[in-house]
Amino acid sequence: MSLTVVGSIAFDAVETPFGKRERMLGGAATHFALAASFFDQVHVVGPVGDDFGDEEMAVLGTRGTDVSDVERVTGGETFFWAGRYSENLNVRETLDTRLNVFADFEPKLSPASRDADVLFLANIQPDLQLGVREQCERARFVAMDSMDLWINTARESLERVIGRVDCLILNDEEIELLTGAPNLVTAANEVLRMGPDVVVAKQGKYGAALFTADDHFWVPAFPLQTVIDPTGAGDTFAGGFVGFVAAHGDQPLTEGLLRRAMAYGTALASFNVEEFGTERVARLTADEIPERVTQLRRMTHFEDAPVELRD
């Protein structure tokens, strides 16, 4: 079994109250691949420029991730994003976005990438997502991300691709924006009617929620005393979640399996925010991960017992 991700590979300049980086490896596909590769063989599809070095490519190729579909555009520069976070990290201000090689990106998938069992369409223009989705006819599980920009400027295209995937992973407020529903439960149910069987609402520092036809599941973010840089947390979460699903293709995609995938995504995301960009996850080892899942389970567990109530 294998897993293909299509999305941005980037250089980020990030400033948080705890420090800054002028230029670090980033991008949705990068964060996703670093997390997902703990679970399965990953193929990364995305463009980079001449400025993308061997060192960055080596990080992208961690745990055997296939980078042969990383397209190097001669004479081009890698996608660049600069942003600054507020005091409590809640608000992110974009200072600069240079699409560079991403402006003319036309995803070309090799047979290995096309034949993947699982596909993740990271946040790119929805028509591109649809094109990739159509190339991967054999995928048994296709998940996608998006953003407010596409909801506001390319809604028809976005709805078309949402209708063709199994799982939408999106920020809670974007799910509400997409549907116009006044709360997340109603909004997620509307997305389920648009096609996907699974909706995952990312809630930032508050965690994530899973919606299927019959059930809900809510998991908090893993509590940390040190949060340095949230950049890429959502994509790292998605990498853990989708990677877990990809690695369990021999089992039916039950609610229980999806919930465990949510827990692993949460654990992976918690490592990501402990340092800038990919720094922490790039040196994360497999033995560090299960402990956080176990702790997460302990921190959300309570015993139900009959209680005498007054009436």
Tokens of 144: 């996608």
Site residues for a second copy, 251-280, by CB under 8 A, read 256, 259-260, 262-264
- Least separation in angstroms between CB 290 and a second copy: 7
Q: Look up tokens 């799910």; give the residue.
A: 175
> Is residue 165 within the footprint of a second copy (CB under 8 A)?
no
CA distance linking residue 243 with residue 241, whole number of Å: 5
For residues 235, 67, 117, 33, the Cα torsion angle rounded to the nearest 10 degrees is -20
Total chain residues near a second copy (CB under 8 A): 63
- Least separation in angstroms between CB 62 and a second copy: 10
Of 161 and 296, CB closest to a second copy: 296
Stretch of 75-83, 105-113, 124-132, 299-307 lying at the interface with a second copy (CB under 8 A)? 299-307
- Least separation in angstroms between CB 191 and a second copy: 14
Of 157 and 203, CB closest to a second copy: 203
Residue 43 bridge partners (DSSP): 4, 66
Provide DSSP, 44-56. EEEEE-TT--HHH
Site residues for a second copy, 72-111, by CB under 8 A, read 87-89
Of 41 and 113, CB closest to a second copy: 41
Q: State the pairing for strand pair 79-85/92-98.
A: antiparallel
> Is residue 19 within the footprint of a second copy (CB under 8 A)?
no
Stretch of 1-9, 102-110, 123-131, 302-310 lying at the interface with a second copy (CB under 8 A)? 302-310
> Is residue 217 within the footprint of a second copy (CB under 8 A)?
yes
Of 99 and 185, CB closest to a second copy: 185
Tokens of 196: 């996907």
Nearest to 272 by CA among 241, 242, 233: 233
CA distance linking residue 238 with residue 202, whole number of Å: 9
Among 247, 253, 269, 281, binds a second copy (CB under 8 A): 247
Stretch of 94-102, 104-112, 114-122, 287-295 lying at the interface with a second copy (CB under 8 A)? 287-295
CA distance linking residue 285 with residue 200, whole number of Å: 26
> Is residue 37 within the footprint of a second copy (CB under 8 A)?
yes
CA distance linking residue 290 with residue 294, whole number of Å: 6
> Is residue 311 within the footprint of a second copy (CB under 8 A)?
yes
Of 18 and 58, CB closest to a second copy: 18
Residue 24 bridge partners (DSSP): 12
Pure H helices in the chain: 28-36, 54-60, 111-114, 126-135, 148-153, 155-162, 172-179, 184-194, 233-247, 255-272, 279-282, 289-300
- The SS3 call for residue 79 is strand
> Is residue 286 within the footprint of a second copy (CB under 8 A)?
yes
Do residues 120 and 161 touch, judged by C-beta distance below 8 A? no
x/- site string to a second copy, residues 120 to 159, per CB under 8 A?
Answer: ----------------------------------------
Name the residues that contact a second copy, by CB under 8 A.
17-18, 37-40, 63-64, 87-89, 173, 176, 182-186, 189, 203, 205-207, 209, 215-220, 223-225, 227, 244, 247, 256, 259-260, 262-264, 285-287, 289-290, 293-294, 297, 299-311
